[in-house]
Chains A and B, each alone.
Chain A
């Protein structure tokens, strides 16, 4: 069983890179989206009579 898993995951750097990109990228995208929403809300508040 362990040998089977070891053979399957040999050279699996592609998955590691993909996983880290998705998680760190996801957090960054959410952070940027938040910043944009804050900026838009501030602008709407300023433009209100």
Chain B
């Protein structure tokens, strides 16, 4: 019973995802594209969830800069990681959809290129977090990058309007109601999946922070008070 109570979000995500799947495969097919259009119900929600995840990262980054509370840094990191996964899934599903419709998996058109850039920018964000050992320095640098990186999100979103090319513009208001409802159900189901993954990723972040704190404690016990870690500021003072 306790396990069930702690996993209610995962269960909700699975149920919503199952309902979305059933609906995706039973709703009428698109007149032009036929069944292959059903890929929209996994491609679009993945992309939307990536945007949501990066939106949470920019919000949490700003909150960290304002409050300096660790929980905001953990939230920013967790959401960025989940966002990178959803971006990769959106790109993969888009490539599979592009093959039968455009005749090729990849083409250097604006939406695809800007989305690929978004993916690599946030991979860079995650790399930055791995590269800096000092938690305070890491949190500050990551928060600044988390805010700057978000500039790419509206560029990706508007790319289909600014540079008209192969990728269609937003179709959420132009498609028939049954298809639109199916799309919104899929977006809702993916949102529950995002929340369930975030819950676990935050749990991992808390454990990693505890591990880091324990390591720092044991390191200071070994070194004692006689050893001071050199910093660039002190080097400057000694000259």
Whether the pair A12, B35 counts as a contact (CB closer than 8 A) is: yes
On whether the beta carbons of B39 and A16 are closer than 8 Å, the reply is: yes
Nearest CB of chain A from residue B30's CB, rounded to whole Å: 9
Q: Which residues in B have some Cβ–Cβ distance to A below 8 Å?
A: 17, 21, 32-36, 38-39, 42-43, 46, 82, 85, 88-89, 92-93, 96-97, 99-101, 103, 193, 196-197, 200-201, 203-204, 207-208, 210-211, 214, 218
Q: With CB as the reference atom, state the residue of chain B lying closest to A23.
A: B42
Binding site for B on A (CB under 8 A): 2, 5-6, 8-10, 12-13, 15-16, 18-20, 22-24, 26-27, 30-31, 34-35, 37-38, 41-42, 44-45, 48-49
Per DSSP, chain A at the interface is helix
Chain A proximity of B79: nearest CB distance (Å): 13
Residues of B contacting A27 with CB < 8 Å? 85, 89, 193, 197
State in angstroms the CA–CA spacing of A6 and B100 once bound together.
Answer: 10
Assess the A26–B210 pair: CB atoms within 8 A: no
Closest 4 CB pairs of A and B: A41-B207, A12-B36, A23-B42, A19-B96
Quick check: A16 and B214 within 8 Å, CB to CB? no
A-chain residues with CB within 8 Å of residue B200 when the two chains form the complex: 31, 34-35, 38
A46 to B120, CA, bound (A): 36
- Min CB distance, A36 to chain B, in Å? 10
**A15 & B36 in contact (Cβ 8 Å cutoff):** yes
Q: Which of B96, B204, B214 has the most CB of A within 10 A?
A: B96
Residues of chain B within 8 A (CB-CB) of A9 are 33-36, 100-101
A37 to B35, CA, bound (A): 38
Contact B39 A34 (CB under 8 A): no
Closest residue on chain B to residue A1 by CB atoms: B32
**Contact present for B92 and A15 (CB under 8 Å):** no
Q: Is the CB of A45 within 8 A of B36?
A: no
Chain B, residue nearest A41 (CB): B207
**Chain B residues near A34 (CB, 8 Å)?**
197, 200-201, 204
- Give A31's nearest chain B residue, CB to CB: B197
Instruction: Name the residue in A13, A20, A42 with the highest tally of chain B Cβ atoms < 10 Å from its Cβ.
Output: A20
In whole angstroms, what is the CA distance A26 to B87 when docked?
Answer: 11
| Complex contact B42–A5 (CB within 8 A) | no
Q: How far is the CB of B87 from chain A (nearest CB, A)?
A: 11
- Tell me the bound Cα distance from A10 to B99 in angstroms: 13
